[in-house]
Structure formats: structure tokens, C-alpha cells
Amino acid sequence: MDNSGEYSLSGKPQPKARFSNRMPNGDFLSLTVWAGKSDPAAEVLTVQVRHYSGDRWETAGRLAVYRTAEGLYSQLPERQEKLKESV
């Protein structure tokens, strides 16, 4: 599936691919592949764990990796918003 550069009706970018799996403890593990912002041939891969707490889902952990058009990988800095210290 290659939706690079495609946007939803709301104007938000759409992922190239998205996969998720429910873990035995009820959390969700997901992998999403996005087109690069400055280079559409590049990709950003995000892996995250989502945990239901109280009445909402929270991101318990996230890993983001940038893949250049040449196939070189590097880990992106951690986003600070709404990450929990532990599940």
C-alpha cells in the first residue's frame, strides 16, 4: 500500500501502512509507516504501545525511526507529549 502524499478529507496526512496487534494484557502494539515530510521517498516508522487507563487510551511507549531514500536508518528523538513513565 503506497499512499505517500495522500491526505484525508480533514487535511491530515495518511499513513503508507498501519498494523496493530492486541497484546495478552489488553494493550495495543502498533507499527505505522509515514512518508517523509521533506523527502516523500523517505519514511518514518513508528512503533507504539497504547494502554487503556481510566476512561481513555494513553501512549505507554513509542519508538520512531527515520529511513532515508537511500535506506539508512536513524532513531528519532522521543516525543515528550503524553508519554507515561510506566504502564
pLDDT digits 0-9 by tens, 23-81: 999 999 999 999 999 999 999 999 999 999 999 999 999 999 999 999 999 999 987 76
Sheet containing 56-67: order of strands:
17-22, 28-35, 43-53, 56-67, 73-75
pLDDT class of 2 with cuts at 50, 70, 90: very low
How far, in Å, are 11, 24, 39, 41, 60 from residue 29 at the CA level? 26, 11, 27, 26, 10
Distance CA(45)–CA(65), nearest Å, equals 5
Report pTM. Answer: 0.76
Q: Which of 34, 27, 45, 47 is nearest to 4 (CA)?
A: 34
Distance CA(83)–CA(78), nearest Å, equals 9
